[in-house]
Amino acid sequence: MSLCIVTAAKTVKLAIAAFTLSWTHSVEKTPWEEDWIVTPDSLVAVEARITSLGAGMEMPDHAIFDGHSWRWKPRLPPLPRLDLRKSDVISEGWKLCAGAECRFLGGHEEPSDIVSLQPCE
């Protein structure tokens, strides 16, 4: 499997089958993480995690606290594309990690307003 990171300026292809997307919540300033799987035609959300509760950080009834984080399986359909929109409130953007390799997306230095994640052909 491969994941394409698409911006207005370029497309980067990563030979990965899964990744973790993380960011800092704009109000509570706490980390939020999601694990995703790349299939030939979609991205599938596997798990979401947050370490604290707060405004805009409500979780579903099936979330479980493991002593460190609240964890749950997002009830999302498989997505053909995941669009990450730049925010003036969160200047660092998102961190995408696959294994030990991480890269930052959509931060203030990124010229594109939208970074799209999608399976590559």
Cα separation of 5 and 24, whole Å? 20
- pLDDT, position 80: 98
Cα separation of 42 and 59, whole Å? 24
Residue-range domain boundaries for the chain: 3-119
- pLDDT, position 52: 76
- pLDDT, position 91: 65
Residue 109 CB partners (closer than 8 Å, separation 6+): none
Reading phi first (left if > 0) and then psi (alpha if -120 to 50, else beta), residue 2 is in beta
- pLDDT, position 55: 67
- pLDDT, position 90: 66
- pLDDT, position 31: 86
Stated pTM of the model = 0.89
Residue 56 CB partners (closer than 8 Å, separation 6+): 25, 26, 27, 28
SS3 58: coil
Mean pLDDT, 10 residues at a time, over the chain (121 residues)? 92 96 78 95 96 72 91 96 82 88 79 88 76
